Amino acid sequence: MNEKKRRSRPRPDGLISVPPPDKRKFRRLLLKWYARHGRDLPWRKTTNAYHILVSEIMLQQTQVDRVLPKYREWLSKYPTMQDLARAPLPEVTRSWYPLGYNIRPLQLHSIACESVARYGGTLPKDPERLLEFKGIGRYTAGAIRSFAFHEDAPILDTNVRRVLSRIFVVRPNGKNGRNSEALWRLSMDLIPRGRGYDFNQALMDFGATVCTARDPYCLLCPMQDFCKAYPFQANPK
């Protein structure tokens, strides 16, 4: 008796059922790509939670090449949470120029003050305590846990959302709450045990340099064999 070949069907949350071998292949190819093409960035040479926080706040809606000189300058002026907490707000705002989005230095200063008051100038790795800081959201908390404390914590910034959506999701442009939660679950599910740091850095680099928002490099992409968006991205109408 011949059985019909089973096909993946869209689920209500927009994800398809991806066979475990595809996920393992994705992990393997991504980490292999990252080993060859990962970017050399200064915040990847530290586990200082404050320094990583500074980089994450600066990188919000700002390109890496603009952040690099300001990151070094900022940490030269405010090397610790205590140094930033002691600084007057007008000086902190001036020190942020010309990055823009001036709510961000105020958030950093507020986090520094709370960190000094509650934790002696450190950041906790507990996700619930991290989320109590005004200015630390779900993504930033995951980044701190992953990059400072090397925990297998999921992240979902713009680059990661785009990569996961294109490769695994039926409706890649869906922005509803259910789809977002599904991507968070997928981000967690994909992390190889004990490799959260490298895997999350790889996801962000891949989205920033290969699976870009405009004109992605699909023909050079190692994921094209199983990427759900590849036929549409590589052959636009």
**CA-based nearest residue to 124, from 110, 136, 108, 107:** 136
Query: Out of 3, 56, 114, 128, which one is annotated catalytic?
Result: 56
Decide: 202 and 33 in contact? Cβ < 8 Å.
Answer: yes
Beta-carbon contacts of residue 114 (< 8 Å; ≥ 6 apart): 133, 134
Is 56 designated active site?
yes
The C-alpha angle with vertex 134 and arms to 129 and 136, in degrees rounded to 5, equals 65
Structure tokens at 34: 């990252």
Burial of 139-172, coded b for 16+ CB within 10 Å and e otherwise, reads bbbbbbbbbbbebbbbbbbebbbbbbbbbbbbeb
- Which residues are known to be catalytic? 56
